[in-house]
Chain A
């Protein structure tokens, strides 16, 4: 019987997990810091949950409030930089994405992470009018996860080619690429009909084909480039011009760098 492989998450999994292994959780602390308390109070109405995890205030919000909350954080609490934003794929478990915005308050040296859960296929409002760094970050999120962003000035693939199919950071996307990815260059440069002639890409960098005389040669059995592979012992005489006898003059080893 073929081994069962879950299709919704094809990433690498632990091959063995102890039956009694209990995964601990990083402690989520109550908001006590005076600055963080003022932040939570400023956006209290829109917060589902708030806690401090490893020094960062985490605010859980509804996806439709993201612009409102981040605007309030920027204008009322002094979070003037959006360091990073991206998503985490929870499609297999909850059919949702988890989006996060990592904000920085330069004057207080404090960081806030705004987190929301976005249903699969839903779109999120762009925060590009607030932070221009979102221009590239949202494009990357769209490219990697396929999450649509409303009112983005130029939502287009950024790292992958424009005509790419699939979104590479989804858990359903295999590490070595899918069918489309493996034939991308061949299809684009030569056309689909050349797939048979060119053959699939060699993904094993250490692969050695002893019959291939274009890239490999066997010592003592050398044949001309591209000629038929032969099992007959070849006698090759090397001229002195190419063979340098390094033993004649012992090389000099320097004690220290010149």
Chain B
């Protein structure tokens, strides 16, 4: 282990050539394929990896510590910074955990909007995955096409909440805003566009592409037992043949009313996972299409009615004295949930995103633990990288779809 100080600065490859003929290289933390700040210490024998050690923590901001020092509503925008590719899913996972703790439920219209935003975020995240994964493997044009479509999805998010990346589009107890005029029509157009592009651009470019298949097939094979044991969730688990999707098995929001399939792949390799992401995007489009007619059938209420925890709507605050008093107390002191603990899992685009909250009845959470899917997928790297070739390392990292905002928290 090197200890760098002012007298002996850091040398990148101190033991470049060791006695046992293995070479130690640092992959990252500034490598463009490291998806943020992953430092991967690889021990190579020739071109083969004999030992891999993922070193994380370069993006550690102490989000769990911050949660203990912020009121529940204050903390919500911080969750944007977890998985910053699809931040609404983090907002939602956190809001749902607090709602379960409080024992309240969002009104129907808020549920429709939330489910729409969640699926839109899934499309955004999966498009980003296809784009960066293809770019890592060497297919540049897919990146450009996928980012074009992602940009349209981000425009939709911007129309709704004003932000492109850090949405904070969900509140504890509902959503802050109704959909703007013409948003649903734009969403329908977007669905058509993405569906068309999925078939005619990405699939046409990648699915039967000889180089793409050679780079992905039988690379990064994870057996079902390993995937379960290493805590893999989401596409990583379903890519190993385990059909488990929290939206289906432990349904939340409107997922129990919607008709959609859970794609599974038993190939266990990167190619299977890539096909899974493509299939999941199609399912998300299917869900979005079902949600559009559901919106008009709902009442206009957006936030749950629970005066003890949730502020009244703006009109009431401006007209009624008691609502204003309640709002003042909630803003200055924060809500005080009952004493208890809760763990709520949700299916974020990356996998199982869960929040464990321990409340002691104070306005500050006594302990908040964010169960981030990417954290466990990073742990898995130390096993699946062993025995692979250095050229496949980038493919495997790309295929795990890790985002360092939520690995390091």
Q: Residues on A close to B: CB < 8 A?
A: 11-16, 21, 23-26, 53-54, 56, 58, 80-84, 86, 88-89, 100, 102, 106, 109, 111, 113, 131-133, 135-137, 140, 144, 157-162, 168-169, 173, 175, 188-191, 257
Which residue of chain B is the closest to A134 with respect to CB atoms?
A: B231
Q: Which residues of A contact B226 (CB under 8 A)?
A: 132
Distance in angstroms between the alpha carbons of A191 and B57 in the assembled complex: 23
What are some 17 contacts across the A-B interface (CB < 8 A)? A13-B364, A15-B333, A23-B336, A23-B338, A26-B339, A54-B344, A81-B228, A88-B358, A88-B367, A102-B354, A106-B244, A111-B345, A136-B375, A159-B409, A161-B57, A169-B65, A175-B65
Distance in angstroms between the alpha carbons of A257 and B193 in the assembled complex: 15
Cβ contacts B346-385/A at 8 Å (1 or 0 each):
0000001010101011111011010100011011001100
Q: Which residues of B contact A189 (CB under 8 A)?
A: 5-6
Q: A interface, by DSSP: helix, strand, loop or mixed?
A: loop
Which residue of chain A is the closest to B343 with respect to CB atoms?
A: A102
Which residue of chain B is the closest to A58 with respect to CB atoms?
A: B341
Q: Does the CB pair A80–B343 fall under 8 Å?
A: no
Q: Does the CB pair A106–B376 fall under 8 Å?
A: no
Which residue of chain A is the closest to B345 with respect to CB atoms?
A: A83
Q: Which residues of B contact A81 (CB under 8 A)?
A: 228-229, 231
Which residue of chain A is the closest to B248 with respect to CB atoms?
A: A109
Q: Does the CB pair A102–B371 fall under 8 Å?
A: yes
Q: Does the CB pair B68–A158 fall under 8 Å?
A: no
Tell me how far the C-beta of B379 lies from the nearest C-beta in chain A, rounded to whole angstroms: 4
Is B161 an interface position by the 8 A CB rule? no
Q: Which residues of B contact A131 (CB under 8 A)?
A: 229, 231
Is B230 an interface position by the 8 A CB rule? yes
Q: Does the CB pair B362–A14 fall under 8 Å?
A: yes
A-B contact count (CB 8 A): 138
Q: Does the CB pair A160–B364 fall under 8 Å?
A: no
Among B62, B66, B409, find the residue whose CB has the most chain A CB atoms closer than 10 A.
B62
Tell me how far the C-beta of B57 lies from the nearest C-beta in chain A, rounded to whole angstroms: 4
**Are A136 and B379 also in contact (CB < 8 A) when A84-B356, A86-B356 are?**
yes
Tell me how far the C-beta of B212 lies from the nearest C-beta in chain A, rounded to whole angstroms: 30
Q: Which residues of B contact A140 (CB under 8 A)?
A: 375
Q: Which residues of B contact A160 (CB under 8 A)?
A: 57, 60
Is B101 an interface position by the 8 A CB rule? yes
Residues 285-340 of B at the A interface (beta carbon under 8 Å): 333-334, 336, 338-340
**Are A80 and B356 also in contact (CB < 8 A) when A11-B364, A56-B343, A257-B155 are?**
no
Residues 64-82 of B at the A interface (beta carbon under 8 Å): 64-66, 68-70
Is B242 an interface position by the 8 A CB rule? yes
Is B149 an interface position by the 8 A CB rule? no
Q: Which residues of B contact A25 (CB under 8 A)?
A: 338-340
Distance in angstroms between the alpha carbons of A190 and B361 in the assembled complex: 45
Q: Does the CB pair B371–A169 fall under 8 Å?
A: no
Distance in angstroms between the alpha carbons of A14 and B332 in the assembled complex: 10
Residues 192-215 of B at the A interface (beta carbon under 8 Å): none
Q: Which residues of B contact A135 (CB under 8 A)?
A: 379, 382
Distance in angstroms between the alpha carbons of A250 and B382 in the assembled complex: 58
Beyond A83-B231, A135-B379, 4 additional pairs, beta carbon < 8 A: A23-B361, A54-B340, A111-B345, A132-B230
Distance in angstroms between the alpha carbons of A53 and B366 in the assembled complex: 17
Picked from B233, B342, B361, the residue with its CB within 8 Å of the CB of A53 is B342
**Are A11 and B379 also in contact (CB < 8 A) when A25-B339, A26-B342, A113-B343 are?**
no
**Are A106 and B242 also in contact (CB < 8 A) when A24-B339, A132-B229, A159-B60 are?**
yes
Which residue of chain A is the closest to B363 with respect to CB atoms?
A: A14
Q: Does the CB pair A158–B56 fall under 8 Å?
A: yes
Tell me how far the C-beta of B348 lies from the nearest C-beta in chain A, rounded to whole angstroms: 13
Tell me how far the C-beta of A7 lies from the nearest C-beta in chain B, rounded to whole angstroms: 17
Distance in angstroms between the alpha carbons of A137 and B380 in the assembled complex: 12
Cβ contacts B1-38/A at 8 Å (1 or 0 each):
10001100000000000000000000000000000000
**Are A16 and B231 also in contact (CB < 8 A) when A23-B361, A136-B379 are?**
no
Q: Does the CB pair B340–A136 fall under 8 Å?
A: no
Distance in angstroms between the alpha carbons of A56 and B97 in the assembled complex: 13
Tell me how far the C-beta of B109 lies from the nearest C-beta in chain A, rounded to whole angstroms: 25
Distance in angstroms between the alpha carbons of A161 and B1 in the assembled complex: 13
Q: Does the CB pair B60–A132 fall under 8 Å?
A: no
Q: Which residues of A contact B352 (CB under 8 A)?
A: 83
Q: Does the CB pair B100–A13 fall under 8 Å?
A: no
Distance in angstroms between the alpha carbons of A17 and B228 in the assembled complex: 45
Picked from B103, B354, B363, the residue with its CB within 8 Å of the CB of A83 is B354
Q: Which residues of B contact A24 (CB under 8 A)?
A: 338-339, 361
Q: Does the CB pair A169–B64 fall under 8 Å?
A: yes
Q: Which residues of B contact A53 (CB under 8 A)?
A: 340-342
Is B257 an interface position by the 8 A CB rule? no
**Are A133 and B367 also in contact (CB < 8 A) when A23-B338, A102-B343 are?**
no
Distance in angstroms between the alpha carbons of A84 and B354 in the assembled complex: 9
Q: Does the CB pair A159–B65 fall under 8 Å?
A: no
Is B259 an interface position by the 8 A CB rule? no
Distance in angstroms between the alpha carbons of A36 and B243 in the assembled complex: 22
Distance in angstroms between the alpha carbons of A73 and B231 in the assembled complex: 16
Q: Which residues of B contact A12 (CB under 8 A)?
A: 68-70, 364
